[in-house]
Amino acid sequence: MEIIVTDGPKELGKAAGSAAATLIRQAIANNGTANIILATGTSQFETLNQLISEHGIDWSKIVMFHLDEYIGLPVTHPASFRKYLKERFIQKVPSLKAAHLISGEDDAGAECNRLGKIITEHPIDVALVGIGENGHLAFNDPPADFETEQPYIIVELDEPCRKQQLGEGWFKTFEDVPKQAISMSIKQILKSKHIVCSVPDNRKAMAVKNSLEQPVSNLYPASILQTHQNCIYFLDKSSACLLSPNTLAATALI
């Protein structure tokens, strides 16, 4: 695992997006194709902007998956992650080979099964992820299921997670935030050959500290990334502000 600390969110996004682009190009060069996972939310704005702007990526050879989607939320809702990805990514790379988006509007169990079969046939080369204020990875809130082999699962969203979604402005009231979602599982995320984790902002500082400095535990879901050999954390000074001197001594500053 590698940790890189940047001055601010824009610098973080540029560094993370550039790193992801390099890994995607390498996958295409080695395999002729690349399978990727994209995260959503405010923490990914700058990373996705940078990735889209990168030159030399043949999007026609890339298959995209994403991490999670609310159950019962229409694609037209401002908080829909399908809407987010269509507007912020898919429409900007129209040559994309395929985008396997999660729909939570119909039978959630059947959707998990459908996507599970597809992603099993597409080993992931590069996953772009973030960390929630409660330390979740995708929508795997604590205590996260570290054991399930299912690629996609139905999860209950805890109160801190739902408050984060409200605080970021995706919903008008707390009651509007769905209580359930479809999420990529922890084990499925860890199957990715490379993981690029982008975490800006002071409000994520405690989650970052717990993820990097606590023992691996499902009470700190993102702590599982400590076990991945090819994971790079991109932080900014705000999100890294609670890290211990020992942890900071092992980081790269850019």
Reply yes or no on whether the pLDDT at 76 is more than 80.
Answer: yes
pLDDT at 186: 98
Determine the Cα–Cα distance for residues 133 and 165; give it in Å rounded to an integer.
10
CA distances from 125 to 23, 29, 39, 64, 201 (A): 8, 12, 14, 10, 27
pLDDT at 251: 81
Range 62-86 average pLDDT: 97
Residues 93-104: pLDDT tens digits?
999 999 999 999
Report the helix count and the strand count for the chain, using DSSP H and E. Answer: 8, 11
Residues 182-239: pLDDT tens digits?
999 999 999 999 999 999 999 999 999 999 999 999 999 999 999 999 999 999 999 9
Determine the Cα–Cα distance for residues 197 and 1; give it in Å rounded to an integer.
11
pLDDT at 73: 96
pLDDT at 250: 79
Residues 103-120: pLDDT tens digits?
999 999 999 999 999 999
**Which domains are delineated in the chain?**
2-230 (3.40.50.1360)
pLDDT at 205: 98
Determine the Cα–Cα distance for residues 2 and 144; give it in Å rounded to an integer.
23
Reply yes or no on whether the pLDDT at 253 is more than 80.
Answer: no
For the chain, percent of residues with pLDDT exceeding 70: 100
pLDDT at 43: 87
Range 73-91 average pLDDT: 96
Q: What are phi and psi of 198, to 5 degrees?
A: -105, 120
Q: What are phi and psi of 232, to 5 degrees?
A: -115, 120
Residues 117-160: pLDDT tens digits?
999 999 999 999 999 999 999 999 999 999 999 999 999 999 99
Determine the Cα–Cα distance for residues 40 and 93; give it in Å rounded to an integer.
16
Range 46-63 average pLDDT: 97
Assigned token pair, 237: 């000074």
Instruction: Find out whether 24 and 126 touch, Cβ atoms under 8 Å.
Output: yes
Q: What is the pTM of this model?
A: 0.96
Kindly report the average pLDDT of the chain as a whole number.
96
Task: Give the residue with greater pLDDT, 1 vs 244.
Answer: 244
